[in-house]
């Protein structure tokens, strides 16, 4: 099953992680083929099989891959035991010290973030769209990891495949809350095709929030989910085409036993 990984996280002993692509699953049509989102309109049996295959690749038990009911928030859950499909917490990030549990976040243009402190054996996973990144999901995830004994100076972070800045056009007034937070955030916006449009560098902004929290080792995957249709699902691409739904990509991290 195709996946991409980050060098810094690969270098950590005792950590397994992957940013899975849309390839290698059993779903069909607009969900072809590795759709991992139960929130989609895909056949739930296909989604379950796709997720099971991802768990196998991570070498964790299939019932120990956990995901969330993501709501574009700054809410973080500490995972002490896996939960079932019918009991998904409403949050956008998870942290744990428990080995053998894979923390999974779903995305289709938003930025998936995987984090680890090898010394403390604490890991985290966060889903960061523009709203979550702006309102503090990254800071909240790091704070929750620190509460478990992690140190930002030891953390390694990987930002997975997400929409690229050349594909992410927004209205000019979209900038206002970013500039209100910090005027220097203007560096993540670029001229669009029209005077009232801008291009937004989501991954650059997410990386800046990590480094502002003293996480200096940050790897950014170069992939653009909107532009690379053969490898990734994209919410924005589906909207542009008037499609009724879209697949979800899985990114996950686990501590080895």
So what's the pLDDT on residue 1? Answer: 74
The count of other CB atoms within 10 Å of the CB of residue 34 is 28
Question: How would residue 240 be classed by pLDDT, with cut points 50, 70 and 90?
Answer: very high
CA distance 38 to 104: 13
Cα separation of the two ends of the chain: 23
CA distance 123 to 16: 10
CA distance 123 to 150: 9
CA distance 59 to 127: 22
Tokens encoding 208: 């800046």
Find the length of the chain: 257
Residues 150-204 pLDDT 10s? 999 999 999 999 999 999 999 999 999 999 999 999 999 999 999 999 999 999 9
Compute the mean pLDDT over every residue in the chain, rounded to the nearest whole number. 97
Classified as helix, coil or strand, 147 is helix
Element (H, E) at 77: strand 76-78
pLDDT for 6 beyond 90: no
Tokens encoding 79: 């995972």
CA dihedral over 197, 198, 202, 208, signed as positive or negative: negative
So what's the pLDDT on residue 110? Answer: 98
Backbone angles phi, psi at 81, to 5 degrees: -160, 150
So what's the pLDDT on residue 11? Answer: 83
So what's the pLDDT on residue 8? Answer: 82
So what's the pLDDT on residue 176? Answer: 98
pLDDT for 3 beyond 80: no
What structural domains and CATH numbers belong to the chain? 3-164+201-255 (3.60.140.10)
CA distance 245 to 42: 9
Residue 60 neighbours by CB under 8 Å, 6+ apart: 16, 100, 101, 102, 254
Residues 35-47 pLDDT 10s? 999 999 999 999 9
Question: How would residue 5 be classed by pLDDT, with cut points 50, 70 and 90?
Answer: confident
């Amino acid at each position: 099953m195709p996946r991409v990984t980050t060098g810094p996280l690969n270098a950590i002993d005792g950590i397994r992680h992957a940013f899975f692509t849309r390839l290698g699953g059993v779903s069909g049509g607009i969900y072809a083929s590795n759709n991992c989102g139960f929130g989609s309109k895909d056949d739930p049996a296909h989604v379950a099989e796709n997720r099971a295959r991802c768990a196998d690749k991570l070498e964790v038990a299939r019932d120990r891959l956990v995901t969330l009911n993501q709501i574009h928030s700054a809410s973080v859950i500490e995972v002490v035991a896996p939960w079932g499909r019918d009991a998904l917490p409403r949050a956008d990030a998870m942290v744990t010290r428990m080995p053998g549990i894979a923390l999974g976040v779903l995305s289709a243009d938003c930025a998936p973030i995987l984090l680890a402190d090898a010394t403390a054996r604490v890991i985290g996973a966060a889903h960061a769209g523009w709203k979550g990144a702006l309102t503090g999901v990254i800071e909240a995830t790091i704070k929750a990891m620190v509460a478990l004994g992690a140190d930002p100076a030891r953390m390694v972070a990987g930002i997975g495949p997400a929409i690229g800045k050349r594909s992410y056009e927004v209205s000019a007034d979209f900038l206002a809350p970013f500039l209100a937070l910090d005027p220097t955030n203007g560096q993540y916006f670029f001229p669009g095709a029209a005077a009232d449009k801008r291009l937004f560098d989501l991954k650059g902004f997410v990386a800046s929030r990590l480094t502002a929290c003293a996480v200096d080792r940050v790897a950014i995957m170069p992939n653009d989910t909107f532009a690379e249709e053969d490898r990734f699902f994209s919410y924005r691409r589906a909207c542009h085409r008037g499609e009724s739904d879209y697949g979800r990509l899985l990114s996950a991290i686990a501590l080895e036993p």
